[in-house]
């Protein structure tokens, strides 16, 4: 795992989502977000944890 932070476009690519979804819907879906100097960022560890929580049976 990595505590590295990704920019919106990088996080969107990592998840296979659009950057628009990352800005608009990630909070609604409980994806942890961070702001540094007005820039939205996502932590790789949080993305991986969130993905595992989305598993359906």
HSE of 12, CA atoms in CB hemisphere, 13 A: 13
**CATH code, 45:** 1.10.1660.10
Which domain, by its residues, includes 22?
Answer: 5-53
> Going residue by residue through the chain (57 aa), what tens digit of pLDDT does each one get?
568 999 999 999 999 999 999 999 999 999 999 999 999 999 999 999 999 999 888
Global pTM reads 0.87
CA dist 26 → 11, 32, 33, 43, 57 (Å) = 11, 8, 8, 13, 22
Number of domains in the chain: 1
């Amino acid at each position: 795992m990595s505590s590295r932070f990704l920019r919106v476009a990088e996080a969107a690519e990592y998840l296979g989502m659009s950057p628009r979804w990352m800005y608009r819907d990630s909070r609604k879906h409980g994806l942890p977000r961070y702001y540094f100097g007005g820039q939205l960022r996502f932590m790789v560890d949080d993305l991986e944890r969130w993905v595992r929580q989305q598993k359906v049976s």
